[in-house]
Structure 1
Amino acid sequence: MLVHICCSVDSHFFLEKLQHDYPQEKLTGFFYDPNIHPYSEYQLRLLDVQRSCKKLGIEVLEGEYDFEAWMQAVRGLEKEPEKGARCEVCFDKRFEVSAKKALELGENKITTTLLVSPLKSQEQLKKSGDAFYEKYGVEFIAVDYRADGGTQDQSRVTKEEQLYRQDYCGCIYGLTMQREQQERLMDEMFSPISKQILPASIEERLAMYKKRMLLEDEGIEYKIIKEKFLNYRQFNFKLIKGKKEVIPAYALTYSTLPRKRAQGQIEFEDKNIHYFNREEIKFITLDYFNSLCNSEYKNIKELIFNPPNFDEELKIRASIESNNYALSPIIVVEYLIDAKLTVAIDAKTYEDTKEKLIIL
């Protein structure tokens, strides 16, 4: 039996149940999910599915990540709600590819772990599966593992196996609507040009889950916990001299302005810190920045495209600010400017939760 897999949270419990109920069937997992966005999230879910299937002794195959073809398939359905017409088209596309893969492998039965997801309509799934049975002759096995406390059992298995528990279905349209309803920043879609790994980002989680697999290979015990913290995202930053001249500059992480803009000039200097006469803004030179982080940046552009990691920036900020909770802008420039300046920072701090790996 070919089993279409969407994520480890659904698949681990689902595959365990199939192994019990269909002991005569050789199960093959098929991870085909071009709807998952961004690609780093796709990589993370695939990684955890591969770990899960390895633990269960089930081979898993990866389908093509044909995201552009998926986007074309759901065009015009972007505003459809969860369990709406977009989801139905999405199922159809994934079932068709799964049915063809089953035929290619000589299988005559398919099913999908989407059946166990509380976010999905089982009726929609059965309708799509039955349609492809008629078209391809591949039988769709529609099992209901949600009933009789199944959802609670699934939650228990997820916790026991320390599976990656994503908090959105997968597609960019569902994510957008969900974050709008929650009034939450859609920080999953941030991708800094610096490639800096941001706290609570998908990239940070991906690195952590790769590390946990190495720990498991080495037999080292660990726990994944969650912790609350104050997160930060910078949308854009600009330093302007006079009316139009943009000056190369870099704003350290956790630099914020209440009204996004401040005009003034540097007023005085103390111990290599240059103080602006508005909004508690501080300036430091690139040379001083290099001395603080033991780096050799030659210019601001180099710093922008290859900054220190996030934790290193926090250490630099802490060496400048005496207050651990300071959100004052700290701006790095190649040289100091004795002129009227406009500092424009659009950034946000917000309460958030992130995962942490503890080695026991």
Structure 2
Amino acid sequence: MLVHICCSVDSHFFLEKLQHDFPQEKLTGFFYDPNIHPYSEYQLRLLDVKRSCKKLGIDLLEGPYDYENWLEAVRGLEKEPEKGARCEVCFDKRFIESAKKALELGENKITTTLLVSPLKSQEQLKRVGDEFYAKHGVEFIAVDYRANGGTQDQSRVTKEQQLYRQDYCGCIYGLTMQREQQEKLMDEMFSPLSKQILPASIEERLQMYTKRNELEDKNIAYKIVKQKFLNYRQFNFKLLQGKTQVIDAYALNYSILPRKRAQGKIEFSHNNVHYFNREEIKFVTISYFNEKTASSYKRVKDLIYNPLSFEKELHFRKEISDIEYDLSPIIIIDEIIKSKLTITLDAKTYEDTKEKLIIL
């Protein structure tokens, strides 16, 4: 039986049940989910599914990540709600590819872990699956593992196995609507050109779960816990000298301007920190930054495209500010400028939760 897999939270419990209920069947997992966006999230879910299938002794195949074709398939349905017409087209596309793979492998049965997801309609899935059976001769096995406390058992398995538990279905349209309803920042879509790994980002989770797998391979005990913290994202930053001259500059993380814009001059200097006459803004030179961080940047532009890690940057901020929760803008420039400056900075701090890997 070919089993279309969407994520480990659904698949681990689902595959365990299938192994129990269909002991005569050799199960093959098929990860085909071009709807998942961004690609880093796709990589993270695939990573966890590989680990899950390895634990269960199930072979796993990966389908193509043909995201552009998926976008074309759902064109015009972007505003459809969860479980609406867009989801049906999405199922349809993934089932067609699954049916082709099943025929290619000589399988005559398929099913999908989407059946156990509380975000999906089982009736909708069964209808689409039965249509494929009629067209392709591949039987769709519509099991209901949500019933009789199944959802609670799934949550238990997820916790016991320390699976990656995503909080959105996968597609950009569903994510957008969910974050709008929650009135939350859609920070899943932030990925700096500098490749700096931001806190609570998909990239940070990908790094952590990769480390988790390495610990398991070495039989090292660990625990994944959650912690609340103040997160930060910077949308836009620009420094002007006079009215038009753009100056290369880097604003440290957790730099906040309440009104997003400030004009003024550097008023005085103390211990290599240069104080602006507005909004508690501080300037430091790239040479001083190098000295304090043991770096060797030749110019600020190099820092912009290849910054330090988030943690090292925060350590430098603490040295400059001498307090734990400083949100003053700290700006790094090549040389101190005495003339009038205009700073534009659009950034946000917000309450958030992140995962942490503890080695026991």
Q: Fold-level match, TM-score > 0.5? A: yes
Aligned-CA RMSD value: 0.4
Q: 1-side partners of 2:192 and 2:77: how far apart?
A: 29
Q: Which runs of 5+ in 1 are unaligned?
A: none
In the other structure, the counterpart of 2:72 is 72
Structure 2 SS opposite 1:158: helix
User: What is the match of residue 177 of structure 2?
Assistant: 177
* DSSP-derived class of the 2:148 partner: coil
Aligned to 2:328: 328
How far does the alpha carbon of each residue in 1:272-313 deviate from its partner, in whole angstroms, 9 at most, with x for none?
Answer: 000000000000001001001101101111100000000000
Distance 1:251 1:28 in 2: 50
1:242, distance to aligned residue in structure 2 (A): 1.1
Task: Give a deviation string over 1:138-183, Cα, whole Å, max 9, x none.
Answer: 0000000000000000000000000000000000000000000000
1:46-83 per-residue CA deviation (whole Å, 9 max, x = no partner) reads 00000000000000100000000000000000000000
The corresponding residue for 2:286 is 286
For residues 243 and 306 of structure 2, the distance between their equivalents in structure 1, rounded to whole angstroms, comes to 29
SS in 2 for 1:119: coil
Partner residue of 1:311?
311
How many residue pairs match? The answer is 360
Q: Which runs of 4+ in 1 moved over 3 A?
A: none
Letter in 2 for 1:215: L
Residue identity in the other structure for 2:237: F
The aligned runs of 1:120-199 (5 Å cut-off) are 120-199=120-199
Distance 1:262 1:240 in 2: 11
1:284 maps to amino acid: V
CA distance in 1, matches of 2:168, 2:335: 45
Calculate the TM-score normalised by the size of structure 2.
Answer: 1.00
Give the whole-Å Cα distance in 2 for the aligned partners of 1:124 and 1:339: 66
1:117 Cα offset (Å):
0.1
Residue aligned with 2:118, SS: coil
Counterpart secondary structure, 1:357: strand
State how 1:233-252 maps to structure 2 within 5 Å.
233-252=233-252
Structure 2 residue 64 is matched with structure 1 residue 48: no
Q: How does 1:260-279 map to 2 (within 5 A)?
A: 260-279=260-279
Q: Partner amino acid for 1:327? A: L
Q: Report sequence identity in percent.
A: 79
Amino acid of the structure 1 residue aligned with 2:119: L
Q: Distance in 2 between matches of 1:157 and 1:111?
A: 20
Q: Which runs of 5+ in 2 are unaligned?
A: none
Q: Which residue is 2:16 aligned to?
A: 16
What is the alpha-carbon distance in structure 1 between the residues aligned to residue 164 and residue 305 of structure 2? 31
Whole-angstrom CA distance in 1 between matches of 2:223 and 2:347: 33
User: CA shift at 1:191, angstroms?
Assistant: 1.0
